[in-house]
Amino acid sequence: MTSLGFLIARLIVGLAMAAHGTQKAFGWFGGGGLKATGGFFESLGYRPGVLFAGLAAFGEIVGGLLTALGLFGPIGPALIVLVMIVAAGTMHIKNGFFASKNGFELHAFYVAAALALTFGGPGALSLDGLFGMDRYFSGPVNATVIGAGIVIGFINLTLRRSALPAGTQPVAHSGA
């Protein structure tokens, strides 16, 4: 039953994150697509915006799909942690915790879920379990990969540039 629980959690967390990435990349599910999201990233100080938006979309889509499939151990969850650190640190932490105030509540949930799925293991109902790859992902390996995601997330926060020049309007954005 534990493996079934992990499967359900991986599918919900992973597919939700991947869908979020498709909003950025392709404009699916009411998203803005790469060009509009790139403009929004520019307004946040991430330039070139389309590059950063593409990287965020890639991290969300690939991280989400790897997590949902239970493939390559901690890599998918590490990508989720990375993009959630950047989103929370860029736009949401200043608003406090609760999502109702545009806070970082949802980001904290994704990070907690990604960490739980990493350290709980993928379970037998995963591609790693099916192919016997789960034996390669020990506690130290998982911690190292997650740690790398955390460090890269915080490094990314330092790449923001100053605000856009006066008279430049930020692009509207829905979601994190």
With beta carbons less than 8 A apart as the criterion, state whether 144 and 73 touch: no
Decide if 169 is inside a domain.
no
pLDDT digits (tens, 9 = 90+) for 114-126: 999 999 988 999 9
Decide if 139 is inside a domain.
yes
Low-confidence ranges of the chain (pLDDT < 50): none
**pTM (2 decimals)?**
0.90
Decide if 174 is inside a domain.
no
pLDDT digits (tens, 9 = 90+) for 41-56: 999 999 999 999 999 9
What domain range is 25 assigned to?
2-157
Decide if 97 is inside a domain.
yes
Decide if 149 is inside a domain.
yes
Decide if 166 is inside a domain.
no
Q: How far apart are CA 163 and CA 171, in angstroms?
A: 13
Q: How far apart are CA 71 and CA 134, in angstroms?
A: 9
Decide if 168 is inside a domain.
no
Which pLDDT score is estimated for 162? 73
Which pLDDT score is estimated for 175? 52
Domain count, the chain: 1
Decide if 162 is inside a domain.
no
